[in-house]
Structure 1
Amino acid sequence: MSTDEFDLREPELTAADLLVLDDEHFAPETVAIVTGAASGIGRATAVALAANGLTVVGADIDEDGLDGTVELADDVDAPGTVHPVPTDLTDEDAVEAMVDAAAEAGDLRYVANVAGMQHIASIPDFPMAKYDLLLDIMLRAPFLTAKLAMPHIRATDDGVGAIGNMSSVHGHYATQDKPAYITAKHGLTGLTRAIAAEGEGTLRGFSVSVGYVLTPLMVNQIEDTAEERGISEQEVVEDVMLGQARTKEMMTPAEVANLFVFGFSSHGKHLNGGDMLHDGGYTTTYE
């Protein structure tokens, strides 16, 4: 097996890739926030929710990437709309402005905290500035967004809504050289459960955990992981990324986005405080 067998380019998203559900709240007056919406899973989730007729506030620091997300929603003829809101998730005022913009666009019911980043280094070598940045984006910002969004969700006519957090197999177990990422994802488990505990049954919290997904973030990890571990890029793909998985292919961003669509829908009404683990067997089987 060689890396040539794996097409490591992010697949083109089409309308046929997206889960579309009949749900009374999936309508233009319903608003969903999606962070990290300029690329990868965040972009796919924003488009998937727009394909279900929602008004989506897509937040990201990458303005050009957000424009690309708007274009992709148009390309798949999504009946909903994506409103790009450039947002620095490390800036508290910017996060507040993002949530305000969502609330002004309609009934804010859903939040998908997807934005993430990675840095590969061992704990002794890990730069604290990188640690702080990762935790700010992947744990503090989701907490702050939930803090600001929950009153708006509760203020809707029936208080129904959900906050979905993008976790990972690394929210279930640890591998070497990703300590900040692992810390953040484990923290999201606590945040998810805290949201559920305070949501009174109608405002739900859930997380989504997957293995390796064909996104720019994942592709960029291959070279870094190879250098850190002293192995080839081929070995990274075969042994590190797919070695323990039973399903020997990577997920696509659209497949992950569909999990958020289901989780937000009434079909997911009993998903509250729990995690949607779609990892190909990474964490549940062992040789």
Structure 2
Amino acid sequence: MADDFDLTPPELTTEDLLVLDDPRFGPETAAIVTGAASGIGHATALALAANGLTVVGADVDEEGLDDTAGKAAALDVPGEVHTVPTDLTDDDDVAAMVDAAAEAGDLRYVANVAGMQHIASIPDFPMGKYDLLLDIMLRAPFLTAKLAMPHVRDAGGGAIGNMSSVHGHYATQDKAAYITAKHGLTGLTRAIAAEGGGTLRGFSVSVGYVLTPLMVNQIEDTAEERGISEQAVVEDVMLGQARTKEMMTPAEVANLFVFGFSSHATHLNGGDMLHDGGYSTTYE
């Protein structure tokens, strides 16, 4: 790889995290974070705990969840991270996750972060993989919202944030299931806003390429699918159209959820926070 691109996911520190003074950010407030075992979900769980919230981190990866809880303890953040092993394709597991969060405090916030990727053209795309991606990234957020919204209303309001992508705004090749799910999240986000009465908000976060373990794997898969080098994937495919020539870090994405949940984002409702370095908004 070129020296300009370090593909080692960065080590997160408390200095990376946005901490806000917000009357609802305290231990009595609970937040769900899916995909909390790694990457953006891991960082989001830590960022919310750094703001004093009680976080229920959910993931199918129990070892990764333990690492997230251990990292919270190592950083000595004021909020607690409770781990709830959860298979998002299992409705009973999703219900148990929401129940655990409601028992942990006033459930006000949900960060639907969990995701996965599969690289293949549409004619070659395995339907089993398609179904799995849609189950995790669209059906599970819908079910989580369905079960969480009554609790958020009972708590007096809050927000459900959905992890979208620049691929929720446009399409590239070989990612059809991912693109379909992210476009669907736009509709879910707006539907939550439409039914939220103004105090229960829905928003999405769209970013470009984020340096996570999942992304490193995607670079390898894309290089193989397109028959090009990994360096070409980073320089030409991922960052070629962007104006900001570096990948985002998980902490930078997590901070967007912190802001979106806060009282500073009262008018962020049904909308999308697009931070893509100009990828989808400029061209040559």
Give me the whole-angstrom Cα distance separating, in 1, the residues matched to 2:112 and 2:126.
Answer: 25
Q: Which residue of 1 aligns with 2:253?
A: 256
Deviation of 1:231 after TM superposition, in Å, equals 1.0
1:83 alignment partner in structure 2: 82
1:5 positional shift? 2.2
Mapping of residues 156-235 of structure 1, within 5 Å = 156=155, 159-235=156-232
Q: Does 1:265 align with 2:269?
A: no
CA deviation string 1:46-72 (max 9, x = no partner):
000000000000000000000000111
Q: Number of residue pairs matched?
A: 284
TM-score, normalised with respect to structure 2: 0.99
Unmatched 5+ stretches in structure 1: none
Q: How far apart are the structure 1 equivalents of 2:180 and 2:120?
A: 14
Secondary structure of the structure 1 residue equivalent to 2:3? helix
Q: Matches of 2:225 and 2:101 in 1, distance apart?
A: 41
What is aligned with 2:27? 28
Q: How many Å separate the matches in 1 of 2:2 and 2:145?
A: 40
Secondary structure, in 3 states, of the residue corresponding to 1:31?
A: strand
Asked if 2 retains the 8 angstrom alpha-carbon contact of 1:33 and 1:110, the reply is: yes
Distance of 2:190 and 2:114 partners within structure 1: 19
CA distance in 1, matches of 2:11, 2:33: 20
- 1:250, 1:230 → 2: CA distance? 22
Q: How does 1:108-127 map to 2 (within 5 A)?
A: 108-127=107-126
**Which has the larger displacement, 68-77 or 117-126?**
68-77
3-state secondary structure, aligned to 1:59: strand
- SS of the residue corresponding to residue 223 of structure 1 reads helix
Which amino acid in 2 is paired with 1:259? L
Q: Tell me the alpha carbon deviations over residues 113-148 of structure 1, each in whole angstroms, 9 at most, x when there is no partner.
A: 000000000000000000000000000000000000
Moved over 3 A (4+): none
Are the counterparts in 2 of residues 135 and 180 from structure 1 also a CA contact under 8 Å?
yes
- Equivalents in 2 of 1:188, 1:35: separation in Å? 15
Other-structure match for 2:16: 17
CA contact (8 A) 1:3 1:237 kept: no
Q: Which amino acid aligns with 2:253?
A: V
Identical-pair percentage: 86
Distance across 1 between alignment mates of 2:73 and 2:189: 32
Q: Distance in 2 between matches of 1:227 and 1:111?
A: 36
Q: Which position in structure 2 is the counterpart of 1:150?
A: 149
CA distance in 2, matches of 1:121, 1:105: 41
Q: Deviations over 1:153-178 (max 9, x none)?
A: 0111xx22000000000000000000
Distance 1:58 1:201 in 2: 26
Question: In 1, Cα distance between the equivalents of 2:78 and 2:230?
Answer: 41
Residue 76 of structure 1, CA deviation? 1.6
CA RMSD across the alignment: 0.6
Secondary structure of the residue aligned to 1:71 is: helix
1:40 aligns with 2:39: yes
Query: Higher mean Cα deviation, 113-122 or 70-79?
Result: 70-79
Classify the secondary structure of the residue corresponding to 1:119. Answer: coil
CA separation in 1, counterparts of 2:133 and 2:221?
17
Q: More deviation in 68-77 or 111-120?
A: 68-77
C-alpha displacement at 1:232, in angstroms?
1.1
Summarize deviations over 1:77-118 as a string: whole Å, max 9, x none. Answer: 110000000000000000000000000111000000000000
Give the residue type in structure 2 aligned to 1:171: G
Distance 1:238 1:283 in 2: 16
Q: Which deviates more from structure 2 when the two are superposed, residues 71-80 or residues 175-184?
A: 71-80
Q: Which moved more, 1:268-277 or 1:66-75?
A: 66-75
